[in-house]
Amino acid sequence: MTENIRINNPNVKYTDTHIEAQYCYHTSAVRRDGDTLTVTPSVSELEFRTERRVPRLGVMLVGWGGNNGTTVTAAVLANRLGLTWRTKTGEQKANYYGSLFQSSTVCLGPGPDGKEVNIPFRDLLPMVHPNDIVFDGWDISSMDLGSAMERAEVLDWSLQEKLRPHMSCLRPRASIYIPEFIAANQVGRADNILKGTMAEQVEQIRADIQDFRHSSGVEKVIVLWTANTERFCDLTAGVNDTAKNLLAAIQSGGEVSPSTLFAVASILEGCAYINGSPQNTFVPGAIELAVERNVFIAGDDFKSGQTKIKSVLVDFLISAGIKPTSIVSYNHLGNNDGMNLSAPQQFRSKEISKSNVVDDMVNSNPILYRKGEKPDHCVVIKYVPYVGDSKRAMDEYTSEIMMGGTNTIAMHNTCEDSLLASPIILDLVLLTELCQRVCVRPQGSETFQSFHSVLAILSFMCKAPLVPPGAPLVNAYFRQRACIENIMRACLGLPPQNHMHLEHKLQRGFLPRHDNRIYDNVATKMVLSTGYHASQQNGVCAHSIIIFSID
Amino acid sequence: MTENIRINNPNVKYTDTHIEAQYCYHTTAVRRDGDTLTVTPSVSELEFRTERHVPRLGVMLVGWGGNNGTTVTAAVLANRLGLTWRTKTGEQKANYYGSLFQSSTVCLGEGPDGKEVNIPFRDLLPMMHPNDIVFDGWDISSMDLGSAMERAEVLDWSLQEKLRPHMSHLRPRASIYIPEFIAANQAGRADNVLKGTMAEQVEQIRADIQDFRHSSGVDKVIVLWTANTERFCDLTAGVNDTAKNLLAAIQSGGEVSPSTLFAVASILEGCAYINGSPQNTFVPGAIELAVERNVFIAGDDFKSGQTKIKSVLVDFLISAGIKPTSIVSYNHLGNNDGMNLSAPQQFRSKEISKSNVVDDMVNSNPILYHNGEKPDHCVVIKYVPYVGDSKRAMDEYTSEIMMGGTNTIAMHNTCEDSLLASPIILDLVLLTELCQRVCVRPQGSETFQSFHSVLAILSFMCKAPLVPPGAPLVNAYFRQRACIENIMRACLGLPPQNHMHLEHKLQRGFLPRHDNRIYDNVATKRFLSNGYHASQQNGVCAHVVKEATIG
């Protein structure tokens, strides 16, 4: 299903090339005077302009031969080819389940029958379809993608058999390997690595991007790191604190991680760069370079499993006035990610990335938590080869409820790590590509501006979101999702979702029958009959309906 | 902490008696023409008027001597008296954890330091404080509340010792007992029951309400059912289909459940009535009566534990594009609620109430579910005396992820049932009381109107929300919470929360420096520096901050 959306409003114009929307953006400023908080609401008028033409998109993955790289490539191929395969429970079709844009929906409003109309998220604005993405990439292992898919042990065997002819011809380009940044146990895979000075290797990556762009005919390239977790890089003045120093350090061979080298090469090529692992790729110099060059960067670390649920559950508890006091998360996994994380320095990167996920929710509630107070929070990751890509996450949430009571939630979560991460990779590149086609002109300004180089709207897909200086860090899942939805709605001149349903909550309906609304008469009557005098069907709730059918 | 909020905007007026706010309410109407959806946004101008004077509130509980009734009464007493008590881990203070209004917060906007300002939910508008509630009620058991608290086995013993002198003189009024509606195993508790015809019993309940109102001096009474789950009542034309027939059936002694009798008595006394159990108290005749008399009713069934988390988790999964295919919920509990539910007819009421909770989320996503498709959903409740009020909920959620993968979440949830339900009882009555002080005048209308008698804004606290005819049924936790928050914000003329943070997401800040905003200069400068040239602190994310101290 694909929906064409047309906004029927004088504030929204469709030109041949753009959707232009006038938008009122509401904010509030708060000031405390003694025990009184003064809230000053204000409105900024903004013009959103979205390019309608969707380009041919190429995505280059660092770590293309890994579990995520092979799985996302295979999934796109299988969907593009419309593959089906037999499993013991029946025929399975290729799909994009777990993708925000491809498999979740947003509500546009009520239809003529009064029911909410929900459309695929991807149809809100013109977006690249994942089937049309052209993949390429690098890997320190030279294995072709057909064999690498087999090594990953993620996809059903019968699907692998159908995909192998399409995958085997794909070979990763040689990658940058600096042994000290990843676990020593990765050395066995490193048979496809660039030689030469650091500067020469960056030049080769840039040449690879240019080569891919020209040979594949794509108009736009986005580079995404889905390779090994690196150890954290020391932040050192004179080395990585400014763009200039960072570029100089690359020339002189200072401490620069492979992921930062890829980021620098991408930025210099004008390609957005997304970091799907926890390490601090985006040292200050890399961020400055991106801002100077007006290139998008985003990260860090895919939010796919345990952390994603944590950013739901803890938000739920605190927003319900319940106080989480202890959060303990055990993980075990047996894929190459798990093997790499079994080294202390790499685990440390992951631990840091996972540790701050509840901070925004805790800080938002000074009733439950006094200043500086936090729940105990402990994360353990163990490498257990047998379970392979089928990661186990075991969490215990202990919370304080009323009058000293205790609520204990124990959770055991099993799933294929790479099947959760792959749709998130797609969401990241698709949203980045869309953001490159959106610009905003505040009232009174002559010129349109783009999003900030640090693309914080991608927070939803990241465990440790990178945001511009001074911007609030939001980890709460539903707030992050609302942010994406409401910004995309703004591009169509639609106000934020308010979830109020006020037209159904008063004694009498108040929506106008005809003017400015497109309801047909039948439906309008229904809406307006929500009135003072109850009919037999009044107060319909789910169980009443059931009982009516008995009557 | 209590905050005084003052809105600094010409659209919001504070009179001695009221807060008057002009509000723009945004809706959209959607029509399909072939493969195109036309979305027509429209704006309704509404005037919200909220009475500032908070009355003295009396709450009458049906089932006052049960676990919920004693726990909520004890909690309010302990908070009012500021009690502390010793536990083996230290001193415990009375609190209202688990109450949306008392213990959760809402974001008002940004303070001068750029940080979000969060205030207790209760401070958004003038609301009753739970400490000021006067309790009374009925119970089929004559036990005084001190002994009933001991029977409940919910609160710490050292707290019970401190509370007993305050609780023991509280005695429930005689209640209505019709054995066929609740489990036979409740007969042993029924030593405090009204005699006489059905009509006489309703008159007695009305007299009790009048007596309580006069003797306690409260301005307003709300009645809430927290007694046993009843079996479902047959809907029969001529008996309970209209208000007139229902009143006639009470006179002639037809099939009317005790909870409906309490509802009728409350409505006739002009008291809002809330149903905290799953049965169909609100037969069509009862709803018609409430609408005719302009009295609020709300229900059904407290959403406190397993179902509450289900309305979070399933919403999360589906909103992430993941397809729940099987939801299996096992419960065991050993309190009197569990004993009553061990009878098949009463369990059936509970099963129905719990069964529809995921419907709105499933129906919202036609990508994952074809028309009419639903996940398998199974609910089991067992009576295990030993666990008492400490209810266990064990859930298994199996979901389909990308390319035929499976995600299995198993959850084990332990908590005191009544400690979760009690704050929800408080939230229900406090929000109902607030709604009685809010009215709305749509533009062009001469008169203000109240909320619809079926008070759907209370859906957040209910497992099977009762809504006006034609209104959408929303079970999704965060949507329900946003509904309450945004309606309360509307009473202050504040637009819905948008979660967009656009002022932090563009290349350059666009918020005006002075006009119409109350930032002081220092903050504004910092705010506007969110610009093109990155400083050393650029791209601050949680882990960078941490590591920067090392570097």
Residue whose structure tokens are 């909410």:
A116
pLDDT tier, B1 (very low <50, low <70, confident <90, very high otherwise): low
Q: State how beta strands A84-87 and A90-93 pair.
A: antiparallel
Distance from the Cα of B531 to chain A's closest Cα (Å) equals 8
Mean pLDDT of A416-434: 97
Any idea what the Cα angle at residue A403 is, between residues A399 and A405, rounded to 5°?
40
Asked if B486 and B479 count as a contact pair (C-beta separation under 8 A), the reply is: no
Question: Which chain A residues have a beta carbon less than 8 Å from that of B320?
Answer: 98, 100, 104, 308
CB contacts of B464 in chain A (<8 Å) are 541-543
Chain B residue at shortest CA distance from A304: B320
Q: Which chain A residues in 416-445 lie under 8 Å from chain B, judged by CB atoms?
A: 416, 419-420, 422-423, 440, 442, 445
Choosing from B308, B391, B395, B417, the catalytic residue is B391
Q: Is the pLDDT at B527 greater than 60, yes or no?
A: no
Residue B34's SS3 state is: coil
Q: Which two tokens stand for residue A244?
A: 């200039």
Max CA-CA distance within chain A? 84
- What's the whole-number mean pLDDT along residues B159-178? 97
Chain-centroid distance of CA B362 in Å reads 22
pLDDT band at B400 (very low <50, low <70, confident <90, very high): very high
Name the band, by pLDDT with cuts 50, 70 and 90, for residue B114.
Answer: confident
Chain B nearest CA to A459, separation (Å): 11
Q: Tell me the average pLDDT across B59-85.
A: 98
Residue A109 has pLDDT above 80, yes or no: yes
pLDDT surpassing 60 at residue B523 = no
CA B350/CA B232 separation, integer angstroms: 10
Task: Flag whether residue B86 sits within 8 Å of chain A, measured between CB atoms.
Answer: no
Does residue A220 carry a pLDDT above 80? Answer: yes
B550–A234 CB contact, under 8 Å: yes
Handedness of CA A92, A98, A101, A103 (dihedral sign): positive
Q: Which residues of A are less than 8 Å from B409 in CB distance? A: 309, 411-414
- Asked if pLDDT for residue A537 goes beyond 60, the answer is no
For residue B320, what is the nearest residue in chain A, using CA coordinates? A100
Among residues 398-417 of chain A, which lie with CB inside 8 Å of chain B? Answer: 400-416
Q: Active site residue: B301, B315, B389, B427, which one?
A: B301
- Phi, psi dihedrals of residue A218, rounded to the nearest 5°: -75, 155
Selecting from A406, A411, A419 the residue whose C-beta is nearest the C-beta of B405 gives A419
B136 is catalytic: no
- When pLDDT is cut at 50, 70 and 90, the band that residue A525 belongs to is very low
C-alpha span between B333 and B384 (Å, rounded): 5
| pLDDT for A352 | 85
Question: By mean pLDDT, which of A39-48, A176-185, B490-499, B526-535 is the weakest?
Answer: B526-535
Burial class (CB in 10 A: 0-12, 13-18, 19+), A168: middle
Range with the lowest mean pLDDT among B152-156, B470-474, B547-551?
B547-551
- Residues with Cβ within 8 Å of residue A141, at least 6 apart in sequence: A65, A148, A172, A189, A190, A191, A192
Straight-line distance from the first to the last Cα atom of chain B, in angstroms, rounded to the nearest whole number: 39
Q: Chain B: give the shortest CA distance to residue A202, in Å.
A: 23
Mean pLDDT to the nearest integer, A115-126: 94
| B551 vs A235, A517, A539: nearest CB | A235
Using a CB–CB cutoff of 8 Å, tell me whether A529 touches chain B. yes
Catalytic-residue membership of A310: no
A238 touches chain B (CB under 8 A): no
Q: In the predicted model, what is the mean pLDDT of chain A?
A: 91
The pLDDT of residue B538 is above 80: no
Please check whether residue B3 touches A, CB under 8 A. yes
* Beta-carbon pairs below 8 A across chains A and B: 645
DSSP string for A29-76: EEEEETTEEEEEEEEEEEEEEEE-PPPPEEEEEETTTSHHHHHHHHHH
Report the C-alpha gap between A128 and A147 in whole angstroms.
29
Q: Which of B291, B486, B505 sits opposite A532 (nearest CB)?
A: B291
Gyration radius (Cα) of chain B, Å: 25
- For residue A214, the distance in angstroms to the closest alpha carbon of chain B comes to 30
Tell me, yes or no, if A322 comes closer than 8 A to chain B by beta carbon: yes
**Residues within 8 A of B (CB atoms), A 189-228 only:** none
Q: What is the mean pLDDT of residues A390-399?
A: 96
Please give the pLDDT value at position B220.
97
Between A284, A413, A537, which is nearest B538 by CB? A284
A67, A502, A513, A535, best to mutate vs chain B, most B CBs in 10 Å? A502
Put simply, the answer to whether A510 touches B442 (Cβ < 8 Å) is yes
Any CB–CB contact under 8 A between B537 and chain A? yes
The DSSP bridge pattern shows strands A220-225 and A272-275 to be: parallel
Q: Does B494 sit within 8 Å of A28, measured CB to CB?
A: yes
Query: CB distance from A508 to chain B under 8 Å?
Result: yes
What are the pLDDT digits (tens) for B404-424?
999 999 999 998 899 999 999
Look at chain B and count its residues.
551
* Residue pair A233/A71 in contact by the 8 Å Cβ criterion: no
Residue B323 known to be catalytic: no
Q: Let me know if A299 is exposed, middle or buried by CB neighbors in 10 A (0-12, 13-18, 19+).
A: buried
Nearest to A42 among B292, B440, B516 (CB): B516
What is the average pLDDT across B164-184? 97
pLDDT attached to residue B517: 54
Q: Which residues of A touch B232 (CB under 8 A)?
A: 543, 547
Residue A19, burial from CB neighbour count under 10 angstroms (0-12, 13-18, 19+) = buried
The three-state secondary structure class of A452 is coil
Q: How do residues B355-398 score in pLDDT, each as one tens digit?
A: 889 999 999 999 999 999 999 999 999 999 999 999 999 999 99
**CA atoms of B408 and B404, how far apart (whole Å):** 13
User: Model's pTM, two decimal places?
Assistant: 0.92
Q: Among A100, A405, A456, whose Cβ lies nearest the Cβ of B416?
A: A405
Catalytic residue among A350, A360, A395, A427: A350
Q: Is B526 on the interface with A (CB under 8 A)?
A: yes
**CB neighbour list of residue B135: distance below 8 Å, 6 or more residues apart:** B58, B59, B60, B61, B64, B72, B73, B76, B170
DSSP secondary-structure letter at B235? P
Q: Rounded to the nearest 5 degrees, what angle is found at the Cα of A411, between the Cα atoms of A410 and A415?
A: 165
Question: Which of A89, A200, A501 minimizes the C-alpha distance to B27?
Answer: A501
Which residues on chain A are in Cβ contact (under 8 Å) with B470?
Answer: 114, 504, 526-527, 529-530
The mean pLDDT of A79-86, rounded to a whole number, is: 97
**What is the percent of chain B where pLDDT is above 90?**
86
Is any Cβ of chain B less than 8 angstroms from the Cβ of A99? yes
Beta bridge partners of A379: A329
pLDDT band, residue B453 (cuts 50/70/90):
very high
Interchain CB distance below 8 Å, B41 and A9: yes
pLDDT at A543 over 60: no
Say yes or no for a CB contact (<8 Å) between B155 and A95.
no
Measured between CB atoms, which of A46, A117, A499 is closest to B479?
A499
Which pLDDT band holds residue A513 (cuts at 50, 70, 90)?
low
pLDDT band at B513 (very low <50, low <70, confident <90, very high): low
**B522 has a pLDDT exceeding 60:** no
Answer yes or no: is pLDDT of A527 > 70.
no
Asked if residue B538 lies in contact with residue A468, where contact means CB atoms within 8 angstroms, the answer is: yes
CB contacts, 8 Å: B390 with chain A? none
pLDDT tens digits, one per residue of A61-75: 999 999 999 999 999
pLDDT exceeds cutoff 90 at A149: yes
Do A536 and B284 count as a contact with CB atoms less than 8 A apart?
A: yes
Residue A442 CA from chain centroid, whole number = 27
DSSP symbol at B269: T
Identify the residue among A122, A543, A548 best suited for mutation to test binding to B, counting B beta carbons within 10 A and taking the highest: A543
Q: Does the annotation count A123 as an active-site position?
A: no
Q: Answer whether residue A82 shows pLDDT above 70.
A: yes
Chain B residue with minimum CA distance to A322: B98
Distance (Å) of CA B189 to CA A267, B183, B205, B339: 75, 11, 20, 12
Mutant choice from A3, A6, A33, A39 vs B, greatest count of B C-beta within 10 A: A39
In terms of pLDDT, which residue wins out, B520 or B462? B462
* Mean confidence (pLDDT) of chain B: 91
Distance CA A241, CA A280 (A): 13
Among chain B residues, CA nearest to A281: B544
Query: What is the tens place of the pLDDT at every residue in B20-36?
Result: 999 999 999 999 888 89
Per residue in A86-98, pLDDT (tens digit) is 999 999 999 999 9
Answer yes or no: do A300 and B541 touch at CB < 8 A: yes
How confident is the model over B232-254, as pLDDT tens digits? Answer: 999 999 999 999 999 999 999 99
Q: Would you say A233 and A260 are in contact if contact means Cβ atoms under 8 Å apart? A: yes
